[in-house]
């Protein structure tokens, strides 16, 4: 795991406005000791600062880093948690807490903290790289590749060892997957479903985020009456890309065949939500399924149980899926669970909210004629979403800010 190191510049700036010259001098000494690898001396110094000014989050942060360097991982984590209780905006604390948990082989809590860091800073390459490595360790390769590719998107495109290693891993995996997927297309067109399925399986094993491999393998399983296998692949396709609307209907039919009527109802409802139209056949089927569910209300609570179980295990995509199913089955609970659903959506795709926030801040600053701040926010928007809906407007406003600033 890559550690999020501290910089003395920002910390010293904070100190100069908050504490006495004596504390500032102590802080400089602690940083000096740290830079010269005298970590025990740094620990003593930062402890001394905290005894005088316990409300200074930067001192707790640096004490944690010094503890971490002396292999006192739990003490370090406690310091970073204390710093967050004083200032919850310190992204580096979440990254370092994650590092501590990862070294203690607590991958779940490591992922939980790194995901928080990414919701705060979706382009933070340390958090993205660490998430990729953590998911790879627990063999959740779909998530691993997702975060590796996010890392590559934001990391400077240079020849550093870490960039080359991850770029090579992703590129080679995609190349192998693409080759096998094309072979799958070839055999499927020639009705050789067994060989096609083998090729698609190899494609998914090499790189699990090609949606069409999952869709086609699901279709082959469905035609072979292997409905549970079809459901597995189609669900994964939806998790990767929820825009494949017909897949929801296909899932509904497959669940119908295996008599999981509550799940079938949810899939038909999802299909209607994204498709916008409803055939009389689906309408009639929904009525029959609703009648069944009303007689077997116990099936509804199982979705909530699963959602909470997945949430506790930091399986946020699965958790979101089940919370949404629960709300579909219990629409009167929508308002109660909307905050949790939105929280999960932000964990899964933090860029949307962060980009929207940057855009709004830019507009606010622009209207207040704080053009420097507006430019900073607009550039942040473009970094997060280079092809976002407001790309052209933001680019024009950056130019306008430049004219105003002379």
Over 348-378, what HEC string results? HCHHHHHHHHHHHHHHHHHHCCCHHHHHHHH
Alpha-carbon span 59 to 19, nearest angstrom: 12
- Specify burial of residue 366 (Cβ count, 10 A radius: 0-12, 13-18, 19+): buried
> Is the per-residue pLDDT at 302 higher than 80?
yes
pLDDT at residue 68 in the model: 95
Task: Quote the DSSP letter at residue 35.
Answer: H
Question: Hunting for tokens 């590749």 — which residue is that?
Answer: 145
The phi-psi region of residue 369 (left if phi > 0; otherwise alpha if psi is between -120 and 50; otherwise beta) is: left
**389: number of Cβ within 10 Å:** 11
pLDDT of amino acid 276: 77
Domain 156-239 coded CATH 1.25.40.10 = yes
Token look-up 């070839």 returns: 186
pLDDT band at 22 (very low <50, low <70, confident <90, very high): confident
- Across the range 104-114, mean pLDDT stands at 97
pLDDT of residue 18: 47
Please determine, for residue 402, whether its predicted confidence score (pLDDT) is greater than 80.
yes
Quote the CA–CA distance of 319 and 337 in Å, as a whole number. 12
**What's the mean pLDDT in 295-304?**
97
Q: Evaluate whether 261 touches 329 at the Cβ level (below 8 Å).
A: no
* Residue that has been written with the tokens 């607009």 in this structure: 378
Lowest mean pLDDT among 1-10, 57-66, 71-80, 243-252: 1-10
Does 6 score more than 60 pLDDT? no
**362: Cβ contacts below 8 Å, ≥ 6 apart:** 374, 375, 377, 378, 380, 381, 394, 397
DSSP character at residue 19: S
Alpha-carbon gap, residue 187 to 379, rounded angstroms: 47
Q: Is the pLDDT of residue 14 over 90?
A: no
**How confident is the model at residue 43, as a pLDDT?**
95
pLDDT at 9: 38
User: What gap in Å lies between CA 385 and CA 406, rounded to an integer?
Assistant: 27
Least confident piece of the model among 274-283, 307-316, 354-363: 274-283
8-140 CATH, one of 2.60.40.10, 3.40.50.150, 3.40.50.920, 1.25.40.10: 1.25.40.10
pLDDT at 1: 57
Would you kindly state where each structural domain of the chain is located, as residue ranges? 8-140, 156-239, 350-404
Q: Tell which residue, 51, 65, 70, has the closest CA to residue 11.
A: 65
The mean pLDDT value for 53-73 works out to 93
Mark out the alpha helices in 277-370 (DSSP H runs). Answer: 280-295, 298-312, 316-329, 334-348, 350-367
* Cα–Cα dist 276/210, whole Å: 26
pLDDT in tens, 32-46: 999 999 999 999 999
Q: pLDDT-based confidence at 12, cuts 50/70/90?
A: very low
pLDDT mean across residues, the chain: 93
pTM value?
Answer: 0.91
Percentage above 70 pLDDT, the chain: 95
What is the spatial distance between Cα 320 and Cα 317, in angstroms, rounded to a whole number?
Answer: 5
Q: Reply yes or no on whether the pLDDT at 20 is more than 70.
A: no
pLDDT tens-digit readout, 127-153: 999 999 999 999 999 999 999 999 999
Could you count the other beta carbons within 10 Å of the beta carbon of residue 72?
17
Contacts (Cβ under 8 Å, ≥6 apart) of 71: none
pLDDT confidence band for 13 (50 / 70 / 90): very low
Mean pLDDT of the region 283-291: 95
Question: Do residues 98 and 114 lie in contact, with contact meaning Cβ atoms separated by under 8 Å?
Answer: yes
pLDDT of residue 24: 82
Pick 27 or 154 by higher pLDDT: 154
Tokens of 270: 């999802």
Q: Write down the residue that tokens 């110094």 correspond to.
A: 45
- 150 CB-near residues (< 8 Å, 6+ apart): 122, 128
Q: Write out the DSSP string of 104-164.
A: TT-HHHHHHHHHHHHHH-TT-HHHHHHHHHHHHHTT-HHHHHHHHHHHHHHS--S--HHHH
Contact indicator for 216, 184 with CB cutoff of 8 Å: yes
The residue-averaged pLDDT of 55-60 equals 91
pLDDT at 398: 96
């Amino acid at each position: 795991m890559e550690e999020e190191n501290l910089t003395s510049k920002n910390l010293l700036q904070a100190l100069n406005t908050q504490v006495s010259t004596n504390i500032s001098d102590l802080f400089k000494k602690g940083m000096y000791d740290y830079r010269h690898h005298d970590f025990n001396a740094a620990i003593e110094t930062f402890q001394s600062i905290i005894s005088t000014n316990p409300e200074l989050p930067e001192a707790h942060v640096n004490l944690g880093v010094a503890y971490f360097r002396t292999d006192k991982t739990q003490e370090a984590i406690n310091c970073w948690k204390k710093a967050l209780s004083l200032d919850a905006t310190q992204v580096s604390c979440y990254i370092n807490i994650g590092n501590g948990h990862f070294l203690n082989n607590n991958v779940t809590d490591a992922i939980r903290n790194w995901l928080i860091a990414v919701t705060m800073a979706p382009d933070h390459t340390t958090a993205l790289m660490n998430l990729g490595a953590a998911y790879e360790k627990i063999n959740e390769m779909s998530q691993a590749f997702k975060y590796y590719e996010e890392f590559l998107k934001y990391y400077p495109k240079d020849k550093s060892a870490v960039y080359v290693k991850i770029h090579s891993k992703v590129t080679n995996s995609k190349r192998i997957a693409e080759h096998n997927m094309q072979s799958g297309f070839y055999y499927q067109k020639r009705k050789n479903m067994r060989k096609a399925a083998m090729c698609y399986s190899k494609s998914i094993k090499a790189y699990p985020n090609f949606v069409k491999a999952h869709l086609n393998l699901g279709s082959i399983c469905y035609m072979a009456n292997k409905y549970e296998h079809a459901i597995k692949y189609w669900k994964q396709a939806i998790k990767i890309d929820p825009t494949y609307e017909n897949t929801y209907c296909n899932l509904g039919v497959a669940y119908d065949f295996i008599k999981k009527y509550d799940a079938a109802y949810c899939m038909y409802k999802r299909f209607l939500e994204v498709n916008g139209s409803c055939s009389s056949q689906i309408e009639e089927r929904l009525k029959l399924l609703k009648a069944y569910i009303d007689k077997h209300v116990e099936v509804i609570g199982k979705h909530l149980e699963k959602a909470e179980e997945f949430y506790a295990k930091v399986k946020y995509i699965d958790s979101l899926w089940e919370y949404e199913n629960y709300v579909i089955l219990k629409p009167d609970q929508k308002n109660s669970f909307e905050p949790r659903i939105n929280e999960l959506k932000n964990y899964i795709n933090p860029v949307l909210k962060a980009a929207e926030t940057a855009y709004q801040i830019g507009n606010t600053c622009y209207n207040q004629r704080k053009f420097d701040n507006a430019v900073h926010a607009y550039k942040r928007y473009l970094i997060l979403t280079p092809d976002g809906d407001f790309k052209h407007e933001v680019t024009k406003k950056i130019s306008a800010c430049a004219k105003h600033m002379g």
